Chain A
Amino acid sequence: MSNQPAKDGIPLRSPQDAAGAAAAAVALPREAVDEAVVANRSASRHTTAEAEKRLRRRYAAQRRFKAYGITAIAIAVGALLWLLITLLANGLSAFQQTYIRLEVTLDPALVDPRGDRSEESIRTGDFGGAIRQALRERFPDVVGRERLRNLFGLLSSGAEFDVRDKVLADPSLIGTKQTFWVLASTDVDMLRKGFFERQPDGGAGGRLNAEQVAWFDQLKAAGDLDLRFNKRFFTNADSREPEMVGILGGVVGSFLTLSVCLVLCFPFGVAAAIYLEEFAPKNWFTDLIEVNINNLAAVPSIIFGLLGLAVFLNFFGMPRSAPLVGGIVLALMSLPTIIIASRAALRAVPPSIREAAYGLGASKMQVVLHHVLPLGLPGMMTGSIIAMAQALGETAPLLMIGMVAFIVGIPKGLTDSATVLPVQIFMWADNPERGFVEKTSAAILVLLAFLLTMNAIAIFLRKKFERRW
């Protein structure tokens, strides 16, 4: 008998060898043994032709089932990818903004009216004038009010703030000539990013005239007009000008609102779930409560907004547009979801664990606190974070309590006027100006990033605290 060592060193034995060994053992010719084996095989009711056909059908059904699943997942992933690609295609350009390089003379008479280099004095300085002066020097042959207005139209009304902030940081710049990249207007930005089409008459996008486009080309050719990272998008709040908008206001508003929501609904939701699942007697009254909690989870969210408007704003006189009220309304909305998820998590704790603890003489409280709660907590946290993610994306109820207002400042407290990310997206999407399209997509990307982060945290928490039993 030849044992051929396989490549990985394990001796391989061919089937013939095995049959041969059997043949040798019973001292029968090998053919006889083979025939006997085959005869035996067909004798079993599980190896008849019919049985094999049945087996093949079973495998075919299994393959079909798998194919359905894979198709469904492929469609879902495809749709998701499509959404993401559209968003990225539309939104990525918002993270850059067009700037114009200018040699600005920081004339003390303009930028430091009191002449004492103090902060108050610089804050009242006419930086816009200084920048316009610089632009006139760049194009000295432009004269006449109309043409000058067109020339200044290349700049954003927010251009002066960058220069002012630099001077505030370093007052010794006053009186010198400095190179600044100043913010261009949204029309220039759109042209730079290729969203405006050039017209036969030399203009572009119906917003820039032929002369403006010519200046644009001149600046661009000289390398004085370029795309730079749009820091403002992450540090500003809302604005009327698309080139100046930022999402920080919405992000902070969302954060404050969700904090209120979490603080309210996690403890109450978990406590309610524990009471209902572990302590409440089972009778018609608790059944009624259960049915109503399930109903509440299905109530359209705008109804909660109406409730917030009627009760918190009109009856209790709480401030409009405030994260505090938004958080309360979202908490009401998330509470049923959290209670249902938490009860499911508690119910998933195997009864044998409770029995073991009761059997040792643990009181009900000890059984719940020592055994049921630690085992149910990962599920409860996951449920709560998913409810929070839902609340983060919620718009309708917040519209009802006035969080849809145009707010330029970043909220500093729970009662300040604020807006939230999804409402911000809603407002920008509603704006007809071309420059808002990319900002809308970019804001959606930011919102998606937050949602992904929250879900990742949920998965992490579940993995960290999950215990096997």
Chain B
Amino acid sequence: METPFSSAQPGTAPPPAVPLPNEPPSIVARNVNVWYGDKHAIKNVSIDIYRRQVTAFIGPSGCGKSTFLRVLNRMNDIIEGCRVTGKITLDGDDIYDPRLDVVQLRARVGMVFQKPNPFPKSIYDNVAYGPRIHGLTRSKKELDEIVEKSLRRAALWDEVKDRLDEPGTALSGGQQQRLCIARAIAVSPDVILMDEPCSALDPIATAKIEELMDELRQDYTIIIVTHSMQQAARVSQRTAFFHLGDLVEVGSTEQIFTRPQDRRTQDYITGRFG
């Protein structure tokens, strides 16, 4: 069976297999374990995430992709009974160091959640919230610019530019998802974690978000969780395959999709189990 990699974007060459950059990885995770109460959700995962790359997390439902993503900006702190061990550094700073400020960490590591969760405020206030609490702007004009730019990049501007003061919760599911993307990039984080950002989007909006990822990749570190092999192949440079809490395999996207080392990876990407 054909791998999605070769079937992606017929007629265009697949993205060049980016050699590992020489610079050190942005995020380094070593022997990370996560428990929800007694449930061992992430088992001894070690991975390097590089700057100016899109890293895709793939794997069957319930394998721990979201969990691992949330570990990276300590969103698991607010889940009761969740325990994390191991060492994770972001640009050399240990993010589980008790002295580290989580507020600052989450400003550096932004997140788009699996389920769209706009605030029950206006569209404008949704996007402006992050810049406001972090004091990123000095004038209303500057804030207006950030809001417009973020909405444009999230491919939502044209649809909402005339009703910025309407509630964000009144948008459609896919629009809400793009609003959440706009809200996350308005803070200009260093790392953006996206948990299935296109799961509710039509092909056109999906293409726009993928374009956005490609553009953001120039400056930021991006991690995306996706169930679409095609999408992983299209947008990512590196891919990590999770299975039942284990990190089975990580490597350049081309290698994972064309020469998987592990039998489980091979079965998954060819659709033999899910």
Interface residues of A (CB under 8 A from B): 282, 350, 352-363, 366, 370-371, 375, 467-469
Stretch among B41-49, B129-137, B154-162 lining the A interface: B129-137
Instruction: For residue A382, give the distance in angstroms from its CB to the closest CB of chain B.
Output: 18
Q: Tell me whether A358 and B133 are in contact in the complex, defined as CB-CB below 8 angstroms, given that A352-B113, A375-B120, A468-B120 are known contacts.
A: no
Q: What are 10 inter-chain pairs, A to B, with CB distance below 8 A?
A: A352-B115, A355-B78, A356-B113, A356-B118, A358-B75, A359-B73, A360-B129, A360-B183, A361-B103, A469-B120
- Would you give the 0/1 interface string for B214-246, flagging 1 where the beta carbon is closer than 8 Å to chain A? 000000000000000000000000000000000
Instruction: For residue A293, give the distance in angstroms from its CB to the closest CB of chain B.
Output: 20
Instruction: For residue A468, give the distance in angstroms from its CB to the closest CB of chain B.
Output: 6
Stretch among B1-9, B88-96, B104-112, B264-272 lining the A interface: B104-112
Measured between beta carbons, the chain A residues less than 8 angstroms from B105 are 361
Q: Which of B113, B169, B180, B183 contacts A468 (CB 8 A)?
A: B169
- Would you give the 0/1 interface string for B148-191, flagging 1 where the beta carbon is closer than 8 Å to chain A? 00000000000000000001010000000000100110010000
Shortest Cβ distance from B115 into A: residue: A352
Q: Tell me whether A356 and B120 are in contact in the complex, defined as CB-CB below 8 angstroms, given that A361-B130, A361-B187, A366-B133 are known contacts.
A: no
What 5 pairs across the A-B complex have the smallest Cβ distances? A361-B107, A352-B117, A361-B106, A469-B120, A359-B111
Number of chain B residues whose Cβ lies closer than 8 Å to a Cβ of chain A: 27
Measured between beta carbons, the chain B residues less than 8 angstroms from A355 are 75, 78, 113, 117
Q: Tell me whether A357 and B119 are in contact in the complex, defined as CB-CB below 8 angstroms, given that A366-B133, A468-B167 are known contacts.
A: yes
Q: Tell me whether A361 and B80 are in contact in the complex, defined as CB-CB below 8 angstroms, given that A355-B117, A356-B117 are known contacts.
A: no
Interface residues of B (CB under 8 A from A): 73, 75, 78, 80, 103-107, 110-111, 113, 115, 117-120, 129-130, 133-134, 167, 169, 180, 183-184, 187
Q: Which of B120, B169, B187 contacts A360 (CB 8 A)?
A: B187
Instruction: For residue B37, give the distance in angstroms from its CB to the closest CB of chain A.
Output: 14
Instruction: For residue A245, give the distance in angstroms from its CB to the closest CB of chain B.
Output: 51
Interface residues of A: mostly helix, strand, loop or mixed? helix
**A371, B80: Cα distance in complex, Å:** 20
Do the beta carbons of B113 and A359 come within 8 Å of each other? yes
Q: Tell me whether A359 and B104 are in contact in the complex, defined as CB-CB below 8 angstroms, given that A353-B119, A353-B120, A468-B167 are known contacts.
A: no
Do the beta carbons of A359 and B106 come within 8 Å of each other? yes
Q: Tell me whether A359 and B119 are in contact in the complex, defined as CB-CB below 8 angstroms, given that A354-B78, A366-B133, A468-B169 are known contacts.
A: no
Do the beta carbons of A362 and B80 come within 8 Å of each other? no
Measured between beta carbons, the chain A residues less than 8 angstroms from B75 are 355, 358-359
Measured between beta carbons, the chain B residues less than 8 angstroms from A356 are 113, 117-119, 180, 183
**A468, B171: Cα distance in complex, Å:** 12
Measured between beta carbons, the chain A residues less than 8 angstroms from B106 are 358-361
Shortest Cβ distance from A354 into B: residue: B78
Do the beta carbons of B110 and A360 come within 8 Å of each other? yes
Q: A359-B110, A362-B129, A371-B119 are in contact. List 9 more A-B contacts (CB 8 A).
A: A353-B120, A355-B78, A356-B183, A361-B104, A362-B133, A366-B133, A467-B120, A467-B167, A468-B167
Instruction: For residue A375, give the distance in angstroms from its CB to the closest CB of chain B.
Output: 7
Instruction: For residue B70, give the distance in angstroms from its CB to the closest CB of chain A.
Output: 9
**A375, B78: Cα distance in complex, Å:** 19
Measured between beta carbons, the chain A residues less than 8 angstroms from B107 are 360-361
Instruction: For residue B257, give the distance in angstroms from its CB to the closest CB of chain A.
Output: 30
Measured between beta carbons, the chain A residues less than 8 angstroms from B183 are 356, 360
Do the beta carbons of A360 and B113 come within 8 Å of each other? no
